[in-house]
Amino acid sequence: MKFGYQGGFNNPSQTYNHRGQIILMRFNNGQPNQLTQSVVGGNQVKYTRNLLPMNFYAQDQWTRNRLTLQGGIRYDHMTSSYPDSGIGGPGYPDAPQVVFYPAGSTQGYDWSDVTPRMGAAYDLFGNGKTALKFNLGKYMQAVTATNSDLDLNPLTRTAVSTTRVWTDLDKDFQVDCNLSQTTKNAECGDMTNKNLGLPVFSRTFDPGFVTGWGTRPYNWGLGLSVQQEVAPRVSVNVGYFRNWWGNWYVVDNRSTSLTDYTPYSIIAPVDSRLPGGGGYTVGGLYDLVPGKVGAVDELAQASSNFAEQKENWQGVDVSVMARLRQGITVQGGTSTGRRYSDSCALKAAVPEQGAGPTGTANTSIAGGSVVNPYCKVVEPYVTEFKGLASYTIPKADVQVSGTWSSTPGNTLAANYTVTSPIALPSLGRTLSSGNQTVNLIAPNTIFADRRNNIDLRIAKIIRYNRTRTQIGVDIYNLTNTDVVTSYNETFVAGGTWLRPTAIQPARYARISAQFDF
């Protein structure tokens, strides 16, 4: 049996060395339509959190006749704390009031979970040639700098920036309004977050979600496979795998209700490149009523408080491993799978779903925005191919190896700028927060080209006494494939939508030497 403890101290942080007020301007076809005003205080602002994971585990393995069992259990405990932090002060127009949070004065994580892991392997015929395998385990979602929507840092939850509509009435490209005023004035619309620079959290977290037992987001992983020896030193493995996620959370703006979001639709432009040539209706869009713009009081909580949310992935892997005579190794296989997600019931109850002025969003790939109508995503099954081979030429001591991969292209979007005149026929008024970006085609409708790649390595081994020198050359993209890897996904009727913006790097070689003694 094996018992263990894992602990750590993680201190991910971001430091901004800006000082004073920052204004960013946004243009559409050369015309101003939005500005972002940000404020920081002091010489620098630090977004820091101290993560303290503490984990205990126990595991064992038992073998009886042809059956081997593995079992384990793990206790995960996660806490967080935050050092002294603050913004604002004299000289900062949008934050004249010093906002200061002493260490230990704000909410942090306090998660506890017990998770199982188990596995089994069975020698089907007792001859060591056919094995049935099973594994099942539960895994907790990591808390890192990348999932900032789960960051309880007080500065992250304080409004240090906001957007507002900007109409350059006199065409002088100067912002002619009182930026300190939160409501509409002169050329500026309402702030989308009127808490800018105030000691008010735009987002709070339900204690029932960020503390306690069994509330932390997780995923289960299941694997079933059979491995068969088909010839001496040649085996085939076929496996089915499934992952599913739970403890989803959603961000609800408590300053608004469902009736404050006006549903509307748009008509896609007529363009032969769009499905059916365009001209179809894109619905499922929402716009906040003007009187509620800037009112922000977000509560992050379990999405199950409102409706059920689903997401899973399943697929089949097939691989072949051959260790032939004379040092030849060949391995290859396919991986076929798809992801399914559905948050439509949740979006019907909470249209904003965390896509609010804080700039953060739920972790689900489905829904999550007032201008994303695709709350249910069913990916088609796609297949990835990979292979490798290696051989050492006897006597010459020359190693030759190569890898091959064929990867499906990513799904592409048609990101269309929706202005008030476009939304007006359905919405019946102008957009409350200015232009919006809407994807005109459902996910997994159009894909980038498949990427095929072959890499080759040739290395000569030189042995002298007790030393070994290896001189090699690696050739990447051997066939010099120029497949497109990035496209312009901004849609303008008759414009440059889907024009390539990047291709796979051209063939190149790298020479290396390694000396062992």
At 270-313, the pLDDT tens digits run 999 999 999 999 999 999 999 888 888 888 888 899 988 889 99
The answer to which of 135-144, 152-161, 341-350, 423-432 has the lowest mean pLDDT is 152-161
Q: If pLDDT is split at 50, 70 and 90, which confidence band does 352 have?
A: confident
| Dihedral sign of CA atoms 189, 194, 197, 203 in order | negative
Q: Contact, 158 vs 87, CB < 8 A?
A: yes
Q: Hunting for tokens 């499922």 — which residue is that?
A: 284
- Band (pLDDT 50/70/90 cuts) for residue 196 is confident
Q: Report the pLDDT value the prediction gives residue 120, as an integer from 0 to 100.
A: 98
Q: How far is CA 221 from CA 87, 183, 186, 351, 477, in A?
A: 43, 50, 56, 30, 34
Whether the Cβ atoms of residue 472 and residue 460 lie closer than 8 Å to each other: yes
**Distance between CA atoms of residues 129 and 246, nearest Å:** 38
DSSP state of 449: P
The pTM for the full model equals 0.83
Confidence of residue 357 (pLDDT cuts 50, 70, 90): very low
> Average pLDDT for residues 352-374, to the nearest whole number?
55
DSSP H or E stretch at residue 472: strand 467-476
Instruction: Supply 107's token pair.
Output: 């909410």
Amino acid type, 458: I
pLDDT, residue 277, reads 94
Kindly state the DSSP code that residue 65 receives in the 8-state scheme.
T
Give yes or no for residue 355 having a pLDDT over 50: no
Above 80 in pLDDT, residue 369?
no
Q: Residue 406: pLDDT above 50? A: yes
Question: Distance (Å, rounded) from C-alpha 471 to C-alpha 249?
Answer: 53
d(C-alpha 46, C-alpha 39), whole Å:
13
Percent of the residues in the chain that have a pLDDT greater than 90, as a whole number: 56
106-164: per-residue pLDDT in tens?
Answer: 888 899 999 999 999 999 999 999 999 999 999 998 876 555 667 788 887 888 888 89
Give the per-residue pLDDT at 367: 45
What is the C-alpha to C-alpha distance for residues 339 and 376, in angstroms, rounded to an integer?
11
Instruction: Report which secondary-structure segment, H or E, holds 422.
Output: helix 420-427
Residue 300 pLDDT? 87
Residue 247 has pLDDT above 60, yes or no: yes
Residue 47 — pLDDT band, cuts 50, 70, 90? low
User: Mean pLDDT over residues 394-402, rounded?
Assistant: 91
**Which residues, including other chains, have CB under 8 Å from residue 11's CB and lie 6 or more apart?**
48, 49, 50, 51
pLDDT above 70 covers what percent of the chain?
90
Task: Please give the pLDDT value at position 10.
Answer: 73
The domains of the chain are located at: 217-334+375-517
* Structure tokens that stand for 249 in this block: 């959370």
Instruction: Write the secondary structure of 208-275 as one string of H (helix), E (strand) and C (coil).
Output: HHHEEECCCCEEEEEEEEEEEEEECCEEEEEEEEEEEEECCEEEEECCCCHHHEEEEEEECCECCCCH
* pLDDT, position 49: 66
pLDDT in tens, 445-498: 999 999 999 999 999 999 888 899 999 999 999 999 999 999 999 999 999 999
pLDDT band at 179 (very low <50, low <70, confident <90, very high): confident
Mean pLDDT of the chain: 88
- DSSP states along 271-319: -TTSGGGB--EEEEEEEE-GGGTB---EEEEEGGGT---EEEEEEEEEE
Examine the pLDDT at 90 and tell me if it is beyond 80: no
Tell me how far apart the alpha carbons of residues 131 and 123 are, in angstroms, rounded to a whole number: 5
Residue 155 to residues 16, 33, 37, 43, 200, Cα–Cα distance (Å) = 12, 28, 16, 15, 10
Instruction: Find the radius of gyration of the CA atoms of the chain.
Output: 28
Give every CB contact of residue 125 below 8 A, 6+ residues apart in sequence: none
